[in-house]
């Protein structure tokens, strides 16, 4: 299966030129107007390659259909999903992608911070390959513009190769995945798929049907401000109290001290002065019992602070965000098996790994659409050190095509 590398990379370069960063504080849906505009761009591309039912709804969801091959109309309908937004943690404006052909393993010099294999060991895997990164002043946007480019390329390939038989295929591009709201209004029944795959993973071969249980926590700290010269036994410095909380939680794991199936607390934002502090924390763990214990521990830490300084010094609000989709996916093993078979046909060795994060697929699975996650070829998401391997992107396209064909053989 020969994928046109030039067309794939040119499409990716074009897609990342659109700033689609989501916004955690926006009250709108999508959270940024730019995602609506980007959806219009995608509608044009999907119509251009000959798909049907091409539309965007009032929430910004872009969907389209590739009809079943003649005689295969009774096969299950399969969906492929990627998200349009990029992480608000790092600028997605003015992205200037760099293509490094036949990477030689050396430090990649950039306008911003260099991409150095001494720090990012994963680069060693891609010597002799072609990789794309930003100029170091922004993220790249391969999370998840790579997934979008791969799905569009695969659907175009299938449309142009009718000899490859498949059932009805659907695609969807969603907003606001990066802020945990990607499928809040997604109409699973209207999408009409028996199962689907999010194309939103990392390195070559990654296949996941398990993700973190996730919650967000907000802690408000109320201090007491008096003249520092007369503060003995009176002042409560909210900034210092917030620091106590953070230091205590750090004992139980942070992103930089955990791996594999270990959970963590991640302080994403802290604003503080003497009178007031506000802490935003995300809580993650694969095991549901450990996850509940982590939430309880956070409350106990704040209870301890209140006993020390006063009953109303801290207020805690914890909001569950998403659950581990393994609870659902264990009931549909064939969905993951089909993806693994599609990878093997593409010459890719499947690596079944838990996602140390979340995807739209987690929430979709609990909405009744079994939806594991497959690789895009990207690395170091959410920051200026992000990059993607072109050969891995090509493999992702072949895998999507193969999955479509494998369904006709397995079901």
For 76, which DSSP code?
Answer: P
How do residues 27-47 score in pLDDT, each as one tens digit? 899 999 999 999 999 999 999
- Sequence length of the chain is 411
Per annotation, catalytic residue among 144, 177, 203, 353: 177
Based on the residue annotation, tell me whether 287 is a catalytic residue of this protein: no
Phi, psi at residue 162, to the nearest 5°? -65, -10
Helix (H, G, I), strand (E, B) or coil at 171: strand
Sketch the domain layout of the chain as residue ranges: 5-211+324-410, 213-322
| CATH class label, 213-322 | alpha beta
According to CATH, what is the number of the domain 5-211+324-410?
3.40.630.10
CA atoms within 13 A on the CB side of 67: 6
Beta bridge mates, 387: 133, 379
Phi, psi at residue 56, to the nearest 5°? -125, 135
pLDDT tens for the chain, 411 residues long, are 889 999 999 999 999 999 999 998 898 999 999 999 999 999 999 999 999 999 999 999 999 999 999 999 999 999 999 999 999 989 999 999 999 999 999 999 999 999 999 999 999 999 999 999 999 999 999 999 999 999 999 999 999 999 999 999 999 999 999 988 899 999 999 999 999 999 999 999 999 999 999 999 999 999 999 999 999 999 999 999 999 999 999 999 999 999 999 999 999 999 999 999 999 999 999 999 999 999 999 999 999 999 999 889 999 999 998 899 999 999 999 999 999 999 999 999 999 989 898 789 999 999 999 999 999 999 999 999 999 999 999 999 999 999 999 999 887
| CATH topology identical between 5-211+324-410 and 213-322 | no
Based on the residue annotation, tell me whether 233 is a catalytic residue of this protein: no
Per annotation, catalytic residue among 85, 285, 353, 360: 85
Q: Is 253 left (phi over 0), alpha (psi -120 to 50) or beta?
A: left
Orientation of helix 390-410 relative to helix 333-345, angle to 10° = 130
Model pTM above 0.75: yes
């Amino acid at each position: 299966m020969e994928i046109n590398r030039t067309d794939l990379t040119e499409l990716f370069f074009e897609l990342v030129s659109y700033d689609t960063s989501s916004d955690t504080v926006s009250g709108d849906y999508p959270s940024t107007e730019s995602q609506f505009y980007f959806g219009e761009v995608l509608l044009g591309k999907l119509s251009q390659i000959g798909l049907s039912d091409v539309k965007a709804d009032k929430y910004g969801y872009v969907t389209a259909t590739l009809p079943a091959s003649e005689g295969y109309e009774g096969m299950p309908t399969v969906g492929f999903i990627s998200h349009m937004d990029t992480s608000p943690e790092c600028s997605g404006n003015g992205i200037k992608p760099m293509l490094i052909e036949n990477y030689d393993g050396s430090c990649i010099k950039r306008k911003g911070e260099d991409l150095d294999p001494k720090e990012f060991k994963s680069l060693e895997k891609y010597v002799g390959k072609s990789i794309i990164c930003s100029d170091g002043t922004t993220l790249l946007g391969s999370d998840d513009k790579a997934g979008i480019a791969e799905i569009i390329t695969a659907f175009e390939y299938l449309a142009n190769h009718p000899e490859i038989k498949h059932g009805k295929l659907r695609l969807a591009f969603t907003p606001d995945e990066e802020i945990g709201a990607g499928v809040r209004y997604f109409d699973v029944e209207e999408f009409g798929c028996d199962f689907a795959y999010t194309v939103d993973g990392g390195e070559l071969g990654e296949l996941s049907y398990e993700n973190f249980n996730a919650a967000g926590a907000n802690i408000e700290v109320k201090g007491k401000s008096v003249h520092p010269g007369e503060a003995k036994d009176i002042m409560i410095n909210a900034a210092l109290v917030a620091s106590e909380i953070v230091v205590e939680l750090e004992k139980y794991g942070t992103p930089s001290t955990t791996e594999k199936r270990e959970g963590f607390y991640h302080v994403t934002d802290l604003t503080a002065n003497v009178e007031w502090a506000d802490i935003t924390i995300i809580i993650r763990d694969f095991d549901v019992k450990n996850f509940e214990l982590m939430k309880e521990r956070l409350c106990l830490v704040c209870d301890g602070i209140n006993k020390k300084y006063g009953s109303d010094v801290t207020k805690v609000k914890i909001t569950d965000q998403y659950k581990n989709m393994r609870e659902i996916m264990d009931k549909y093993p064939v969905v993951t098996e089909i993806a693994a078979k599609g990878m093997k046909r593409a010459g890719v060795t499947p690596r079944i790994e838990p996602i140390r994060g979340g995807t739209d697929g987690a929430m979709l699975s609990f909405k009744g659409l079994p939806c594991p996650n497959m690789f895009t070829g990207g690395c170091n998401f959410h920051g200026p050190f992000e990059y993607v391997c072109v050969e891995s992107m090509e493999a992702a396209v072949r895998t999507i095509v193969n999955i479509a064909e494998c369904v006709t053989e397995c079901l």
